Amino acid sequence: MSSPTKHFVNLKPNIIHTWLVNFDDKDEDAINKYYYLLSEDEKKRASKYKFHKDKRCYIITKGALRLLSERYLNIDARAITFDYGKYGKPDFSFNTNLKFNISHSGDILALSFVKEFDIGVDIEKIKDNFDVFEIASNFFSTLEIETLKKVPKEKQVEYFYRCWTRKESFIKAKAKGLSFPLDSFSVCINSDKKTELLETKWDAAEKHQWKLFTFSHQPDYLGAISIKGDIKTVEYFSFNND
């Protein structure tokens, strides 16, 4: 991972940029810098959080999204406006071919940017205090559960998270949230090198239009990106505005 210049970033059409932010290393001065960037509505929403940790997460997420969008769009961070789709997916409220998606878990925020294509990102902090197959039976497809059963026990949690993040990034790219049936598609779970959709039951050919990526830049976290487009490269950066 690297840190490119603070100024305008030229995003090439066939590349995804994914930025990782650590919530935990931000002091009050840093939080204030992010807070200053928020819209009046976002400030109001921030004031409603009961727990300080959630408020910090909200302010850093919205602030980092504005600062990074500024670099791609060349528009002042405070002047950027957003719309939300029927199921809550945020997008820019003006005409641009820049697309983004966000995910946060534990202390890490991931923001992915790309030109033109529908994109979804998911990051999860890895826990191991749950029954893998109980959760899988509610969320995974038959093909995914069958594959998971063949994985050695000590690897099951890791493979579970590979599957979970890939599936969630896919439904986030589709923008329909959990209204999209999770058993109507299957992801491969056993390879980070050749990550792909294995089946899209509503249209057998759709799986060929998608690319999936898995990333793991922090211990205890696993992330995935789904993109509807022929993208071959994801570049990862760490973001720190302090």
**Which of Mg ion, ligand COA, none does residue 195 bind (CB under 5 to 8 Å by kind)?**
none
**112, interface contact from Mg ion, ligand COA, none, CB < 5-8 Å by kind:** none
122 sits near Mg ion (criterion: CB under 5 A): yes
Closest-CA residue to 169 (of 196, 151, 148): 196
**8-39 burial: b if 16+ Cβ within 10 Å, else e:** ebebeeeebbbbbbebeebeeebbebbbebbe
> Given candidates 38, 67, 73, 102, which one binds ligand COA under the rule CB under 6 A?
102
Is 21 a residue that touches ligand COA (CB under 6 A)?
A: no
Query: Among Mg ion, ligand COA, none, what does residue 101 contact (CB within 5–8 Å per kind)?
Result: ligand COA
Among Mg ion, ligand COA, none, partner that 182 touches (CB below 5 to 8 angstroms by kind): ligand COA
DSSP class of residue 130 equals S
Q: Rule CB under 6 A: is residue 178 a binding residue for ligand COA?
A: yes
Q: State yes or no: residue 99 binds ligand COA (CB under 6 A).
A: no
Determine if 66 is a binding residue for ligand COA (CB under 6 A). no
Instruction: Look at residue 63 and give the partner it binds from ligand COA, Mg ion, none, a contact being a CB closer than 5 to 8 Å depending on partner kind.
Output: none
Single out the residue of 142, 148, 106, 145 nearest to residue 127, CA to CA.
Answer: 106
> Counting Cβ atoms within 10 Å, is residue 67 exposed (0-12), middle (13-18) or buried (19+)?
buried
Which residue, 102 or 212, is less far from ligand COA as judged by CB? 102
In the complex with ligand COA, the residue whose CB is nearer, 101 or 195, is 101
Q: Percentages helix, strand, coil for the chain, rounded to the nearest 5? A: 40, 25, 35
CB of 122 to Mg ion, least distance (A): 4
Phi, psi of 130 (to 5 degrees): -145, 165
Task: Name the residues that contact ligand COA, by CB under 6 A.
Answer: 61, 87-90, 101-104, 120, 122, 139, 164, 167-168, 171-172, 175, 177-178, 182
